[in-house]
Structure 1
Amino acid sequence: MCTLLWATGCTRQESADGPPSSTTVAEPDASDKDASAPSETSVSASSDEDAPSVEPGSDTETPAQSSQEKLSSEVTLGDPSLTLGIPGEGPLSTDEIKNWLATEGVHDTLDITLPQGLDQAAQSITGIEENPLTRAKIELGRQLYFDPRLSSDSTISCATCHDPDQGYTARTQFGVGIAGQQGDRNSPVAYNRILSGPQFWDGRAESLEEQAKGPIANPIEMGNEHAVAVETIANIEGYDLQFDAIFGEDSVNIDNIAAAIASFERVIVTGPSPYDYHAAITPFLALEEDDLEEMKMDDPDLYERYEILKAATAANPMSESAVRGQELFFSEKANCTACHAGANFTDEKYHNLGVGMEAEEPDQGRAVVTGEDKDIGAFKTPTVRNVSFSAPYMHDGSQKTLEEVVEWYAKGGHPNPHLSEKIKKLDLTDQDKADLVAFMEALTGPFPEVETGRLPE
């Protein structure tokens, strides 16, 4: 068993064909401060005493350890107990669902903490006051997220275009829906959405709940009608039981379907990356040996955190190239933080980079929503966290690699009347460009392990 917990250590696991996942978590200290660069002026201690630690396949790997044990309402997002589903194998039986719904604590509103790295954006959390998170609602949302029965031909689920094994996106240039139909935009990532208000590349959905309704009725994506999707779900006993327990009797409707899916999406977050460990250990590095000995005597909890961080940093190192890239990323020379700012590395705003503007009829982007000329060709800034898994890039999937993305910015985008004033030609060497890519790759952290197959019969 890995003994260093997710918020402070060694749980980064990466396979050759998918993004890293995490199976252990601890509660880090949360801060209401949002920053675009690491702080070097403060160090805080955290405790691991109440953190769950489980291994895949073990007897303890269950969201509800037993029907008699109350589940904690205090949880750090990324905790696999939120995403591993109702324990067992094969389709979910009604008895399993009834036992799950009777488990003490599954209906309690969760008191959530963001994992290390994202914790500085705690004040940016959205949607949970209007749609409180509970374990039961998250689990219902998990089932719906992976259920193709929401589509008209039972072939397309949310996960088709936002696949955990593909970094919660799809590695195709455009989204592909029913009957192989192709959309006209790249699939945006579905993680760290708890920190985002408006959704889609153009921000046309004001919330995750509104976003979740869109693809179901989109003729290219799921090709269904809301009323038909609702009827399909209502006629599945396992779903009907859960909606009754969570939302009340006769509550299977499109709004509650969307609320459940949004709840699941809000708990999909990126865990700490090599950059986050590097940033957290940095304040300690200025201390002399005598200072560390004094800390060990006067503040053993803080010293323990230092030891854990030191081991975590060693297990998840940043290369020299990535360290140089970090300095560039936060500098005026590269100007990356003009848009990719804050703990989630996005300003959540819309910018015209010139992408696709050479076309005869370019995508109008945000202007379709606002009707304003200034928004023509402007698209929402994506997060750079785990960006190494979300290729191809840009709203039209036109750039296949991070190297191509850096080259695009270096040349100053594509000239057009609506080009953002933040986009200017950059004086970058080949080494600078390689270092920026290395830093973006160092922003890779684990996703929570998720059950994708267990759905109601």
Structure 2
Amino acid sequence: MTTIEKIGEKQSHKLRGFCLLLMFSIFILGLSSWNTAEEIPKTAYVLRYPSYFGNRINTTADNPMTEEGVDLGRRLFYETLLSANNSLSCGSCHMQEKAFTDGKKLSRGVDGELSERNAMSLVNLLWARKFFWDGRSVSLEEQASIPMVNPHEMGQSLLVSASKLQQTSAYPELFSSVFGDEQITGKRIVMAIAQFERTLISANSNYDKYLQKSYQLSREEMNGMILFNTAPNPEKGIRGANCAHCHGGPKNYLELFHNNGLDRVSADPGIQQLSGQRNDHGRFKVPTLRNIALTAPYMHDGRFNSLEEVIDHYSEHVQQSESLSAFLQHESNIRNGTSLKLRPQEKKELLAFLHTLTDTAFISNPKFSNPFLIRKINKTK
């Protein structure tokens, strides 16, 4: 071997050694970055909904939705460890088969006491900006925390909930897959639950199929839809049920707060309790009508057991008061009337249309179901 060849071989060995060292360094750096929340590979969650729902959605930049986060949130939504006596979960008062209500006038908490108001349906929350009957929360993250810490609901601090989950064998690893490390905090708990709640989209009812031109409404349902969307004008011979002012649009939801004439003086002041304004007395959030046939009893206090009773209220029993919604004042199908005065056939038609808002796919979707009914998580180390 010549001198030149020997020099070339030495340089080749040095180059190979340098390359190996460089590759090892990159590997070590990769392991280091792998343990950071920013670098952990996650699968972005793709929200799917019809275009007519619109894109004015309520998400937060610091809680991006991922498949892993939604899965964790679903488990936490049904996790009884988040209650003081390990007996209640979010799903206890928000059951999938009842469109995420509980079928009760008022819900019973861990201390045996009844809630102050009826459990609202958790549906299409992605488009909501205020939560609860009085709109006290402005994000799903905040909304998720309130019933957990309320002493008359789940009755447990987020600090204690985090500690209980930290002691399980499964949850630290699940939190790590979402947040980058095994630390469990109250903030992370509500972030995951909020991610899951944003996926609770109902958009496959017969009404949706009608909007998509794949379902033909019956004559009764069509008449009911026309009544629903029409304001009465007896002077012009126009009859209507006047529903669209508060429940209009393809989502059947407008984020409004109204006094709907349940009482002349309300025992529950509604949003007046927060605002202190006289005109807010007895005003409550207008609920969505999606899956309304599944969510009895109705109103903030659960006073009506059936949709027939609700329709009768608006037809004959609206109570006039200072804070009564302007949409309900003197709206009637007869001249100088103070309530709608719907005919029996019109009530029947309106009821038929309301039933077209039921989404059977929503209440049977396995992605929204209780995962613990399928397989148990090992809750103790």
Q: Same fold (TM over 0.5)?
A: yes
Preserved contact between residue 106 and residue 134 of structure 1 (Cα < 8 Å)? no
| Equivalent position amino acid for 2:140 in 1 | L
The answer as to 2:155 corresponding to 1:223 is yes
Map of 1:108 onto structure 2: 43
Preserved contact between residue 147 and residue 455 of structure 1 (Cα < 8 Å)? no
Distance 1:439 1:326 in 2: 6
Cα deviation 1:375-404 (Å, max 9, x = unaligned): 111111111111000000011100111111
Aligned with 1:368 (options 267, 273, 291): 273
Secondary structure of the 1:220 match is: coil
Identify unmatched segments of 5+ residues in structure 1. Answer: 1-104, 282-308
Preserved contact between residue 141 and residue 193 of structure 2 (Cα < 8 Å)? yes
Structure 1 position 355, deviation (Å): 2.4
More helix by share: 2
Aligned with 2:343 (options 418, 429, 443): 429
| Equivalent position amino acid for 1:336 in 2 | C
Cα deviation 1:33-82 (Å, max 9, x = unaligned): xxxxxxxxxxxxxxxxxxxxxxxxxxxxxxxxxxxxxxxxxxxxxxxxxx
Aligned with 2:259 (options 317, 332, 352): 352
What value does the CA root-mean-square deviation take over the aligned residues? 1.8
The answer as to 2:217 corresponding to 1:318 is yes
Structure 1 position 250, deviation (Å): 5.0
Structure 1 position 220, deviation (Å): 0.7
Distance 2:318 2:183 in 1: 49
Greater RCO (CA < 8 Å, at least 6 residues apart): 1
| Equivalent position amino acid for 1:326 in 2 | M
The answer as to 2:107 corresponding to 1:175 is yes
Map of 1:383 onto structure 2: 288
TM-score (norm 1): 0.66
The answer as to 2:242 corresponding to 1:343 is no
Map of 1:235 onto structure 2: 167
Structure 1 position 278, deviation (Å): 2.0
Distance 2:157 2:47 in 1: 34
Q: Any runs of at least 4 consecutive aligned residues in structure 1 with deviations exceeding 3 A, and if so which? A: 356-359
Preserved contact between residue 106 and residue 135 of structure 1 (Cα < 8 Å)? no
Preserved contact between residue 356 and residue 363 of structure 1 (Cα < 8 Å)? no
Preserved contact between residue 357 and residue 363 of structure 1 (Cα < 8 Å)? no
Secondary structure of the 2:55 match is: helix
| Equivalent position amino acid for 1:456 in 2 | I
Within 5 Å, which residues of 2 pair with 1:142-221?
142-221=74-153
Structure 1 position 196, deviation (Å): 0.8
Map of 1:440 onto structure 2: 354
Map of 1:303 onto structure 2: none
Within 5 Å, which residues of 2 pair with 1:14-413?
107-114=42-49, 116=50, 119-249=51-181, 251-281=183-213, 309=214, 313=215, 318-332=217-231, 333-358=240-265, 362-411=267-316, 413=318
Secondary structure of the 1:246 match is: helix
Distance 1:356 1:238 in 2: 50
Preserved contact between residue 169 and residue 187 of structure 1 (Cα < 8 Å)? yes
Distance 1:346 1:409 in 2: 18
Distance 1:271 1:235 in 2: 39
TM-score (norm 2): 0.79
Distance 1:160 1:337 in 2: 32
Tell me how many residue pairs correspond in the alignment. Answer: 315
Preserved contact between residue 53 and residue 250 of structure 2 (Cα < 8 Å)? yes
Structure 1 position 255, deviation (Å): 1.2
Secondary structure of the 2:47 match is: strand
Identify unmatched segments of 5+ residues in structure 2. Answer: 1-39, 232-239, 332-338
Distance 1:421 1:246 in 2: 47
Radius of gyration: which is bigger? 2
Distance 1:152 1:243 in 2: 21
Structure 1 position 230, deviation (Å): 1.4
Distance 1:126 1:327 in 2: 31
